[in-house]
């Protein structure tokens, strides 16, 4: 249904960004590109303006925490969609947990605003250049990032439920 194949998209991106593109794969037909963290902003803004690819819709920004991969613990995923060509793609960057900084894309897509705040709220990813990077879903005075793997689902201070009976 789409005019462009994944290979054509990948070739065009590699032509422009060269070795910044570290890895690429196609799980379940969705082109997934891993790129250096400092090139994310350039890639996404170039994708929006490129006349062939026209990837102009930001679907989702998310993150995942892989505590076992040293130096690459936090993975930030950007799902993009070219509505004109009907091509979806996923761009990702890996960040170390000590300095999870990445440039914000709120100047490219206004809709990235809250999604980046949510990613900061859950994982602690610092988006440089974001106009208002504060917690959005959790309470403002929470001092940890709950979606990281080292934290439990349940509230640590609860005293009414006995873990022995809850199978934990």
Partner 1 sequence: MGKVEIINGVETINGEGFQLTLLDKVIGAARANSVWPLPFATSCCGIEYMGTMGSNYDVARFGMERMSFSPRQADLLIVAGTISKKLAPILKQVYEQMAEPKWVLSVGACACSGGIFDTYSVLQGIDRVIPVDVYVPGCPPRPEQIIEGCMNIHRLVKSESLRRRYSDEYKHLLKKYDLNDE
Partner 2 sequence: MIATSVGEKAKDMSDTSNKNKSLFADETIDGQIATLNLGPTHPATHGIFQNVLTVDGEKILGSVQTVGYIHRAFEKLAERRPYNQITPITDRLNYCSSPINNIGWEMTMEKLIGVKVPKKVDYMRVIIMELARMADHLVCNSVIGVDTGALTGFTYMFQQRELIYELYEEVCGARLTTNIGRIGGFERDFSPTFHVKLKKFLKEFNKHFQEFDDLLLRNRIFMDRTIGAGPISGERALDYGFTGPNLRAAGVDYDVRVMTPYSSYEDFDFIIPVGTQGDTYDRFCVRQEEIRQSMKIIEQAYNNMPEGSYFSPDVPEFYLPTKADVYTKMEALIYHFKIVMGETPVPVGEVYHAVEGGNGELGFHLISDGGRTPYRLQFRRPCFIYYQAYPEMIIGQTISDAVLTLSSLNVIAGELDA
Note the residues at the interface with partner 2 (CB under 8 A): 1, 27-28, 30, 32, 56-60, 62, 64-65, 77, 79, 83, 86, 88, 90, 109-111, 113-115, 118, 122, 135-140, 146-147, 153
Pick from 27, 68, 152, 162 the residue near partner 1 by CB under 8 A.
152
Q: Taking a C-beta distance cutoff of 8 angstroms, is the pair 74, 95 a contact? A: yes
Q: Is the dihedral of CA 5, 11, 16, 18 positive or negative?
A: positive
Instruction: Name the phi and psi angles at 141, rounded to 5.
Output: -95, 15
- How many residues in total does the chain contain? 168
Q: What is the CA radius of gyration of the chain?
A: 18
CB closer to partner 1 out of 126 and 136: 136
Residues 118-137 that bind partner 1 (CB under 8 A): 137
Least separation, in Å, of the C-beta of 82 and partner 2?
A: 11
Q: How far apart are CA 105 and CA 109, in angstroms?
A: 6
CB closer to partner 1 out of 19 and 141: 141
Instruction: Name the phi and psi angles at 138, rounded to 5.
Output: -90, 175
Stretch that binds partner 1, among 3-11, 79-87, 97-105, 144-152 (CB under 8 A): 144-152
Q: Which residues of the shown chain bind partner 1 in the complex (CB under 8 A)?
A: 137-139, 146, 151-156, 158, 160-161, 166
């Amino acid at each position: 249904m789409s005019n462009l194949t994944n290979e054509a998209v990948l070739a065009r991106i590699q032509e422009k960004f060269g070795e910044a593109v570290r890895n690429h794969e196609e799980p379940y037909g969705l082109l997934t590109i891993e790129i250096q963290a400092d090139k994310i902003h350039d890639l996404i803004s170039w994708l929006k303006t490129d006349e062939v690819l026209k990837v102009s819709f930001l679907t989702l920004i998310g993150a995942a925490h892989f505590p076992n991969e040293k130096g690459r613990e936090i993975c930030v995923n950007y799902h993009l969609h070219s509505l004109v060509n009907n091509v979806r793609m996923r761009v990702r960057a890996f960040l170390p947990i000590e300095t999870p900084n990445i440039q914000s894309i709120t100047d490219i897509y206004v809709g990235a605003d809250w999604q980046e705040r949510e990613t900061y709220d859950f994982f602690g990813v610092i988006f440089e250049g974001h106009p208002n990077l504060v917690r959005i879903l959790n309470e403002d005075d929470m001092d940890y990032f709950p979606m990281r793997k080292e934290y439990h689902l349940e509230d640590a201070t609860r005293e009414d439920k006995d873990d022995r009976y809850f199978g934990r």
